[in-house]
Structure formats: C-alpha cells, structure tokens
Amino acid sequence: MSLVENQISALREVDEVWPGVSAVIIGATALGFYFDMRWRQTADVDLVVALTLDEFPDLGARSGWRRHAKREHEFVSPSGAKLDLLPAGARLLQEGRLQWRDGSVMSLEGMDLAFEHAEPHVVQGYRVLVAPPPVIAILKMVSFGERPAERERDLEDIAHLLDAYVDESSGRRWDDAAECGEFDLAPAYLLGLDIHRLLASDVHRAIVSGFLRQIESPESTSHLLMSSLGPERWRTEENPLARRIDAFRAGMKRGRGA
C-alpha cells in the first residue's frame, strides 16, 4: 500500500496551496510505504504541515474541494481523495497542542519527530516526505493515550509493528538483535532500540513510558484489547504481548547503553 493516482493529485494541489512548506505523511498511509499492511487498509492520507492555525486556509473554498461539516481537518479532493491535514508549525509544536476553532484539542506531542526524521520517497515521479515507522509508532502512542476509547486501530498498528518491524530475511535479526535471544521477538526488540534512539526530550520519553504503563498489565483492558488485535499467530502463543513488551523494553535498555 502506497499512494494511488487521486491521492498524488490531491497532494500536488496541497503543494500549490502552500508552496515551500514542509508537509509529511503520517499515520497508516506512512506505514504503507514500509509494510504490506495486510492487517488493515486505510483510504485517508494523514498529512502534517508546518503552518500555524491562522495560516491554515480553507481548502474547501477551492474549486471541487469539500471540507467535513464538523471535523475541520478532514477534506475530500475534487478527485475523491480523503486528506486529514494537521497544521503543526514551530509555535504549535512548542505548545504541544492544537486547539481547533470549534474548541476541540489535539495533542501535537512527538510531532516534531515527524519533521525531523521524515524520509523522501518517489511515487509515480512525485516526491513526498514520509515519517518512518518508529516515529509513527510514537505518534500512535500519543493518539491512543489521548483517546483510548476511540483509537483501537492505533493499538492494532503498534501490535503488528511489534511482530513485523523487520522481516525474517533482515540481517538485523542476527546482528543488532543477537542478544535478544529469541528470533520471533527480534522485531519488538529492534523497534524498542530504534525508538529509543529517536527520543530527544523528556516529553518524548514520557510518551513511551506512559503508553507502556497503559498496556503492560495483563489484566488491563488495553492489554487484552491489544492482544486480541495482534497478528493471527499470537492466538497460538502464550502471553504473546507480554513477551513482546519485555523484548521492546530490552531494546530500549540497549539503546540507553549504546
């Protein structure tokens, strides 16, 4: 899963609206640049742009574009592509939150990592910036922590990353994850290792530690839900999520000592 033609067309038009402004693809669409996403599909493109809310014009005023009646960040392009656009300029990133005009508030914690670590990809001759999987995992931790009752899909994506972050042919399973000790836990270990290498502030570290507290207790609702949303092969394992949380923590610890 990557981008299809009408999504590329919509992103080109966004470039015309904000020429020279950094825009980074996040969310499940970003993961689709790195994984086949067999566990779920998404029709939306989540895009974070380096703008203030005041600089965020109404795309719905452009010919053929439609804005959601209640959700300010949701747009549909003339060709039918669905875009979720989030302004996150320097001042908003510093504040760590975005308050929409209707009064609703969205956390921007960790969003600075999307801009800092964005990777270029070319699709059908069009260059886009995409946040890499460790950054997406952190942003999904923020999203779930903010609205746990509404964000099951974030738990699902993180669960699958714990199992699919590196494939079985990756040399990192034998090199970077050698001390992990268990081949099937290497993806979780390496995800923890790579996430720790990104954590540049106390805010970043609090995001990860807070998420782990939410899911680590086997009796917690979040742990049970995340276990049920994980890969099919978890059904035949004993304590699959707990084992991967331990491996993830081991990777984080290795990152601290590197």
Question: Are 57 and 171 found together in one domain?
Answer: no
Q: Which of 114, 131, 148 is the last residue of a domain?
A: 131
Question: Are 160 and 252 found together in one domain?
Answer: yes
Question: Are 168 and 115 found together in one domain?
Answer: no
Looking at the structure of the chain, the number of domains it has is 2
Question: Are 167 and 122 found together in one domain?
Answer: no
Q: What is the pLDDT of residue 60?
A: 66
Question: Are 162 and 77 found together in one domain?
Answer: no
Q: Are strands 44-49 and 82-87 parallel, antiparallel or unpaired?
A: parallel
The DSSP symbol for 12 reads H
The residue range of the domain holding 28 is 5-131
The tally of CA atoms less than 13 A away on the side-chain side of residue 116 is 13
Q: What is the pLDDT of residue 102?
A: 84
Q: What is the pLDDT of residue 53?
A: 86
Question: Residue 142 contacts by C-beta under 8 Å, 6 or more apart in sequence?
Answer: 107, 109, 110, 207
Asked if residues 224 and 216 have their Cβ atoms less than 8 Å apart, the reply is: no
pLDDT in tens, the chain (258 residues): 579 999 999 999 999 888 999 999 999 999 999 998 888 877 799 999 999 888 876 676 777 888 888 888 889 999 999 999 999 999 999 999 999 888 889 999 999 999 999 999 999 999 999 999 999 999 999 999 999 988 999 999 999 999 999 988 888 877 777 777 788 899 999 999 999 999 999 999 999 999 999 999 999 999 999 999 999 999 999 999 999 999 999 999 987 755
Question: Are 40 and 127 found together in one domain?
Answer: yes
Q: What is the pLDDT of residue 172?
A: 83
Q: Which of 131, 164, 185 is the last residue of a domain?
A: 131
Q: Which of 131, 148, 180 is the last residue of a domain?
A: 131
Whole-number Å distance between alpha carbons of 19 and 16: 5
Q: What is the pLDDT of residue 240?
A: 96
